[in-house]
Amino acid sequence: MTKKLRAKITALGTYVPPRVVTNHDLEKMVATNHDWIVERTGIHERHWVEPGVPSSELGAQAAIAALKQRGIEASDIELIIVSTVTPDMMFPSTACVIQHKIRANKAWGFDILAACSSFLYAVTTGAQFIENGTHKKVLVIGSDVMTSILNPEDRTTLVLFGDGAGAVLLEPAEDGEDLGLIDYHHEIDGGGGENLYMPGGGSLHPPSHETVNQKMHYVHQNGQAVFKFAVRKMEELSTGMLAKHNLTGDDLACFISHQANMRIIDATANKLGMPPEKVIKNIHKYGNTTAATIPLAMNDAINDGKLKKGDLVLFAAVGAGFTAGSVLMRWAY
Ligand code: UT7
C-alpha cells in the first residue's frame, strides 16, 4: 500500500504597506477614540495602502519574499491559490494577476473567497494537490486591501481593518518525515451571511449610481452577531480538533487564530487552557487584515521563537459567510 503524501509549509513571506495609521489618526476621521478601540478590539494601529495599491501588489511582494526564503524561482511554482475578499477586479482572478507580476510562467491558479477563513481554506485546498501527488510546489497567498471596501464614515468598521499579505509554499514532506498538515475541519453556515457582507457590485446588485449612493460597495457588519458566532465556533472547532487527536493545549507549541478581536482570541485560548505566551497575537499592530492575519501571525511566531521545526500548532478562523475552520499542523522548517 502506498503511504499518503503529506503537505508541509517550507517557506513564508509577508508584506504590509509602510503607512501606519494609529487610533489617534482615526479620531480625526470618525467619532471614535483610542481607548474604545483598544478596550473593545485590542487594536492600536494598522497598516493601510496608499490609495490605488491593489491586493495583487501586496500578494506579489509576499510571494517574492517566500520564494527568496526557499531559494527557488517563480518559474518553479506549479499552482497559485490566492485567498482574498478584495480581488483587484471581479475577473480575471488575482491569482492570474500575481502569476503575471511575479512571472510564475508555469503555474495555473485560482482565487478562493472565504473571507477571514480563506487562508486556511486555501492552505488545505493547496495541500490536496500535494497529497494526491500531482503537484510539488504550490504557492498559497492571502492578500487583502480592506481599505478599498471600508466606508470612511462608518466608525463601526473603519477602525477594525488593515491591509496586508502573506504567502506560504507547500511542498511534499519527505518519506517518513512526521511534518506538515495533519488534519483540518472546515464549515460554513450560510444563514449568517447578512451579518457581514458587501452587498453591492455583484450580480445581485450590479454597480449603479443607486448602489453607490446606498453605500452598498462597503463592508456592512452586525458586530455583535459576528462576535457571538466567532467565539462559539472558534472554541468548538479548536477544542474539537484537539479532542479528535487526543491532544490538549499542553501539546501545542502555539495557537494561531485569525486576528479579528483580542477578546475572541482570549476566549478561545482560555477554553484551550493555553498560557498567554503560547497564544500568538498581533492584532495590536495590524488590525484585522482578513486573509493575511494567519500568515502574518505565523511570521511573528517564528520571529519570536515560538514556532520551530517539529512544533505542533493549531490554527483557527471564523469569517464572513459564515465560514469557519481549524487546521492542525506540525511545523516543518
Ligand atoms: O474578521 C471577521 C469577523 N469579524 C469579527 O470577528 C468582528 C466581531 N465583532 C467584534 O469584534 C465587535 O462586535 C466589535 C469590535 C465590532 C464591536 O464591539 P462591541 O463591544 O460588540 O460594540 P457594539 O457594537 O455593541 O457597540 C457598543 C457601542 C455602541 O454605542 P451605543 O449604541 O452603546 O451608544 C456603538 O455605537 O460602541 C459604539 N461604537 C463605537 N464607539 C467608538 C461602535 N464603534 C465605535 C467606535 N468608536 N469605533
pLDDT tens digits for range 202-246: 999 999 999 999 999 999 999 999 999 999 999 999 999 999 999
Establish whether 116 is a catalytic residue: yes
Q: In this structure, is residue 1 part of a structural domain?
A: no
Q: Which residue's CA is the closest to the ligand 1 atom numbered 16?
A: 223
Q: Which domain holds residue 241?
A: 180-330
In the prediction, which pLDDT does 176 show?
A: 87
Amino acid at 119: F
Are 184 and 74 found together in one domain? no
CB contact at 8 A, 136 and 171: yes
Residue 115 and residue 192 in one domain = no
Q: Whose CA is nearest to atom 2 of ligand 1?
A: 319
How many domains is the chain built from? Answer: 2
Residues 142 and 94 in one domain: yes
Inside any domain, residue 164: yes
Catalytic residue, chosen from 23, 116, 195, 299, is 116
Do 39 and 57 lie in one domain? The reply is yes
Least confident of 131-135, 270-274, 293-297, 314-318: 270-274
In this structure, are 260 and 314 located in the same domain? yes
Q: What is residue 230's predicted lDDT score, i.e. its pLDDT?
A: 97
Q: What is the CATH number of the domain that holds 268?
A: 3.40.47.10
Mean pLDDT, the chain, as a whole number?
Answer: 97
Residue 320 binned pLDDT confidence (cut-offs 50, 70, 90)? very high
Residue with cell 477614540: 33
For residue 2, being part of any structural domain is answered with: no
Among 35, 156, 159, 318, say which to mutate for ligand 1: greatest number of ligand atoms within 8 Å of CB. 156
* pTM of the shown model: 0.97
- Is 60 exceeded by the pLDDT of residue 290? yes
Q: At residue 1, does pLDDT exceed 70? A: no
184/302 same-domain check? yes
288 is catalytic: yes
User: Would you say 296 and 16 are in contact if contact means Cβ atoms under 8 Å apart?
Assistant: yes
Average pLDDT on 268-272 reads 93
Tell which of 172, 200, 230 closes a domain.
172
Q: What is the pLDDT of residues 25-60, one digit of tens each?
A: 999 999 999 999 999 999 999 999 999 999 999 999
Of 116, 144, 172, the residue at which a domain comes to its end is 172
For residues 158 and 215, give the distance between their C-alpha atoms in angstroms, rounded to a whole number. 14
> How confident is the model over 96-140, as pLDDT tens digits?
999 999 999 999 999 999 999 999 999 999 999 999 999 999 999
Q: How far apart are CA 279 and CA 268, in angstroms?
A: 10
**Ligand 1 atom 17 nearest Cα:** 223
Mean pLDDT of the 256-261 span: 98
Domain end among 137, 172, 207: 172
Residue-level pLDDT at 3:
64
Q: What is the mean pLDDT of residues 187-204?
A: 97
Check if the beta carbon of residue 187 is closer than 8 Å to that of residue 316. Answer: no
% of the chain beyond a pLDDT of 90: 98
Task: Assess if residue 156 is contained within a domain.
Answer: yes
- What does the pLDDT average to over 69-90? 98
Position in ligand 1 atom list of the atom nearest CA 230: 6
